[in-house]
Chain A
């Protein structure tokens, strides 16, 4: 019995280690005194010092945080209301619109980048933060929409009906009954949407303005031209931030254990039923 379970565990461990190797190398070389990443020149924090003097990079980080925040918030509103309304709607176009609403994450991102670039110049939206927010919202909506929709399907409709029968207005029912019940799904969707937005290069490259580069666009350009180890330092800090957030999520998840709802960890693949 023991031998049967050991091999798979070993396999899982090996793949996981391989997943982390490139990341850990970036972290490791961020402390490298030498500028050339293949040479170890001793421990140094100079790239961190240089990073904190790099206004442009921090500006880009700020842009990305603002962009991700606004996009995932607007996606939360549009997606949640949309999933709620669609569950009630009896329109003939419902299926088609639902399909279209999820299209942005079904097709290659490059197509989205292309269509937004062309469309925004057609209707005169200047490239920059506004264009970025619209484009990012478009691919953030599906995450919230699909997760909330799945959650609504699994919900007991008699709760809302009971409230309606007792005289609550539909808006009241939505805010008092439905919203608290779907909140974990909304948060999962928002988290996922934020991560996608924060990481997006392909779509942003096409609609970004000169004065509002997002962090991935900035890093992408640097990786193409010459990399300075500042990027290592920045990447290391981002990695630590992700670690801290995941740790926090795990901690909160533990606190909530025993509750009926799933922890809002936003794990892909946790959907369905």
Chain B
């Protein structure tokens, strides 16, 4: 109707435009460029084109890090789905008052420093710590399990840190679900399982898939969890990037690893969009 007037506010987007181009696109492009550069002999980089950094990723030791990291992420994601999906789903069925209360109870740990929560797990897992004391006093185990700095400890830490994201994603999907549809399916003779499988699950799929992306992607990069609960036994892609940056000072290789991780993330987001049929991740903010 009044195209001229409608266009007037567009200038407000200028700061976002500039900021995004300079501080998001710029750094990402530099990372891409860096990944093709040569490492200087002592310090820094030389702008000489090379594919060596990418070839490096395919060295068995690094390739296996990628693979192990993907396996860990997959395992964490499966556990997060198993714990978080029912939670988000049941939560959507609560009364408005209890929804609010549950949300509040979820938010408090979520807002509380993730390092504090990690520290809690150290207290639990440490040899002779809380878990050992409980298990030994119940005579389930006879000696300390020494769970700290093991693979299971890292998995627990990941699951614990990421489960809220799954819950929020599933909840935001399930909250929109019309539960009378499920009842209708039941009335028409579907078993509870069939009603869930054909109606509820299908309609909450965007939330579930979004939760999977929101769990899987970070669990490749959360190096501080692997660091603190896994000692140096569990190495994630994120740990590798951090090590290359801060210790080995091989920035081009770190850049190549980041590009690879970014490609993997993009692929996941692309698959999500295809499967869920929506653009934005459900329950992301």
Chain A contacts to B: CB under 8 angstroms: 8-9, 11-12, 15-16, 19-26, 29, 37-38, 77-79, 81-91, 97, 100-101, 103-111, 113-119, 122, 134, 137-138, 141-143, 145-147, 164, 170, 174, 189, 192, 195, 198-199, 201-202, 205-206, 215-216, 219-220, 223-224, 227, 231-232, 235, 238-239, 242-243, 245-246, 250, 253, 265, 267-273
Contact = CB atoms under 8 A, between A and B. Distances in A.
Interface of B: 5-17, 19-21, 23-28, 30-31, 34, 83, 86-87, 90-91, 93-94, 100, 102-124, 126, 128-130, 132-133, 160, 163-165, 168-169, 171-172, 175-176, 217-218, 220-224, 227-228, 237-238, 241-242, 245-246, 251, 254-255, 258, 261-262, 265, 269, 280-285
B15 A77 contact: yes
Contacts of A22: 117-121, 123-124, 160
A268 B283 contact: yes
Given A22-B123, A88-B7, A81 B13 contact: yes
Contact of A114 (B17, B123, B245, B282): B245
B218 A106 contact: no
A23 B116 contact: yes
Q: Is the interface of B mostly helix, strand, loop or mixed?
A: helix
Contact of B217 (A23, A104, A107, A138): A107
A22 B161 CA distance: 11
Contact of A242 (B10, B111, B171, B221): B111
A9 B101 CA distance: 13
B111 A216 contact: no
Given A37-B123, A223-B119, A246-B104, A115 B221 contact: no
A131 to B, nearest CB: 11
A12 B102 contact: yes
27 contacts: A9-B90, A26-B123, A85-B14, A88-B9, A100-B25, A103-B24, A105-B285, A106-B217, A107-B217, A110-B258, A111-B258, A114-B241, A114-B258, A115-B27, A117-B245, A119-B31, A137-B23, A192-B285, A195-B110, A195-B111, A202-B238, A216-B113, A220-B115, A239-B116, A267-B103, A271-B172, A271-B283
Nearest to B133: A38
A199 B114 contact: yes
A245 to B, nearest CB: 8
A155 B241 CA distance: 44
Given A78-B19, A108-B265, A216-B113, A223 B25 contact: no
A170 B8 contact: yes
Nearest to A243: B108
B109 A19 contact: yes
Given A118-B251, A268-B285, A269-B171, A16 B113 contact: no
Contacts of A115: 27-28, 30-31, 258
A50 B102 CA distance: 36
Given A22-B160, A201-B115, A146 B223 contact: no
Query: Which A-B residue pairs are the 7 nearest by beta carbons?
Result: A22-B120, A85-B13, A82-B16, A108-B221, A85-B12, A269-B168, A119-B27
Given A216-B115, A269-B171, A12 B16 contact: no
A151 to B, nearest CB: 11
B27 A143 contact: no
A178 to B, nearest CB: 9
Nearest to A192: B285
A63 to B, nearest CB: 14
Nearest to A17: B105
Contacts of B86: 8, 11
A146 B284 contact: yes
